[in-house]
Structure 1
């Protein structure tokens, strides 16, 4: 099988060398004359099959990661955020966001006579719906983590006051669970439940650090585990961590104020091309058929969207300062 495949490649290569003597504008006609339309299509199909066969393991691994892998990724993130959902509903939602929305956009534009634009827009919506679930879930997880960080000051104050009042560490954690809202109460409640079923407290706290990995959490868990082994005043350590967190939050808010103008510039840059399209289009409606109804116009739109997205991404990377 491999020998036949190599022979076919050599045959096609020799024909290509011979075809170099033909004028570039007539090379397509040359291939059609030599192989015929079916032969050209067969050659393209054979090349695609050969590539898929050689890279079949990587291809199937990629397909699995983009389908079941995406669903499992979302389910894992939902479990971290204490959200219960049926896996079948996740699968249906992913199909609707990708294929469902893509087919819907294609059908709407094709119905009004924009077949080319409908095809390109449908594929774009399909790809966007296929790729967007992970970033969306990551956004909500990051927002939850930020809320958790803001609640850590109150949680550590309660822990410090509880320890000064003579409570044990599990009892102080229980006070945090009772007094504070989610998400910090959810995370500390899980630590408490794990400790009640026999999981060592240091291991339960390590699990907390893995679920919600932040610098504040790492300081908190490391301090508790070390001082529980060596001995020390946990209340004073918690007070020190609270001061560090407050100073970091103050500095982060100050930086956010300084980079706010950069974010506004990014939004203006992103909106300006589309605003100009609407402005010129409203003044001369003949621009719209040229832009949306021709191949060159659609390509120009794709290039515009790509460059706008690249510019916004670069600006966001520049102004994204971590404390």
Structure 2
């Protein structure tokens, strides 16, 4: 029986090369599969977000822009700071920035829609009392109010003109603008269409309820604003302090940036920073 020492060196080298090649192939397949799943998920979510904010930009183009930003920012950061690790970190932030921007625009549009919804309900109520039908009241909202609520009612009116039932058109608007307030309005309209009753009075009551909820939410945000600001300040102080210390005494941070255990400590610090901010955010977030 041959021992390891008796096996010819070329055979050992061939076996090692084959094992390494197999490992690389398996890792490449795993990474490719993970990237395809991530790409599909990101494209799906980004496409929905872009459609909801009426931006006619293909989702895959936004992904290409994110990849270009990653390469540029990572390369420039590595050249300027001489640290590939920081280059990758800043590159990841740049890669996520287009999607984060789209999400920010969506949230801002949703908030604007929620503020406009109260006035829209009052206008619908007044129009119904003046003898308008519900579709005519929707046309009034489309003409008299600003975006984004005018865009949503314009699309709703276009759907009803081409034969889409009002119930489905309202559900489509609710899918585009998921909101508890809008859900309440849609439910009230559908129930009123089935059982009858004064829809104008229902719109008044819903508008009053939503307005009171917004007032309570505003008070809650004002009372918790100090806690949110403290979370931001406490999260930024260690970072700013590290830059100041490095500027005053550059050699003090040499072990942190030149060794892997130093970067590991940075990772632990960053993780604790994120966890702390999430805990504070959870504490000051109150559902109304």
Q: What is the TM-score normalised by the length of structure 2?
A: 0.86
Instruction: Give the equivalent residue in structure 1 for 2:67.
Output: 95
Secondary structure in structure 1 of the residue aligned to 2:222: helix
Is 1:272 aligned to residue 223 of structure 2?
Answer: no
1:227 deviates by 0.8
Over aligned residue pairs, what C-alpha RMSD do you find?
Answer: 2.7
Is 1:223 aligned to residue 188 of structure 2?
Answer: yes
Show the 5 A alignment for 1:217-296.
217-296=182-261
CA distance in 2 between partners of 1:44 and 1:126 (Å):
30
1:231 deviates by 1.1
CA distance in 2 between partners of 1:151 and 1:163 (Å):
18
Structure 2 counterpart of 1:206, from 168, 171, 183 = 171
CA distance in 1 between partners of 2:169 and 2:52 (Å):
14
Instruction: Give the equivalent residue in structure 2 for 1:139.
Output: 104
Cα distance change, pair 152–61 in 1 and its aligned pair in 2 (3 A): farther
CA distance in 1 between partners of 2:224 and 2:283 (Å):
9
CA distance in 1 between partners of 2:247 and 2:74 (Å):
28
Show the 5 A alignment for 1:50-69.
50=26, 60-69=32-41
- Answer whether contact 2:118 2:210 (CA < 8 A) is retained: yes
1:232 deviates by 1.1
1:61 deviates by 4.9
- Answer whether contact 2:110 2:177 (CA < 8 A) is retained: yes
CA distance in 1 between partners of 2:28 and 2:63 (Å):
26
Is 1:74 aligned to residue 50 of structure 2?
Answer: no
Instruction: Give the equivalent residue in structure 2 for 1:46.
Output: 22
1:271 deviates by 1.1
Instruction: Give the equivalent residue in structure 2 for 1:150.
Output: 115
Secondary structure in structure 1 of the residue aligned to 2:250: coil
Q: What is the TM-score normalised by the length of structure 1?
A: 0.77
Structure 1 counterpart of 2:90, from 110, 125, 149 = 125
- The Cα offsets for residues 234-288 of structure 1, whole Å up to 9 and x where unpaired, read as 1000001011101111111111111112111211211111222133334323224
CA distance in 2 between partners of 1:314 and 1:173 (Å):
43
Kindly tell me the number of residue pairs found equivalent between the two proteins.
280
1:101 deviates by 2.4
- Answer whether contact 2:235 2:277 (CA < 8 A) is retained: yes
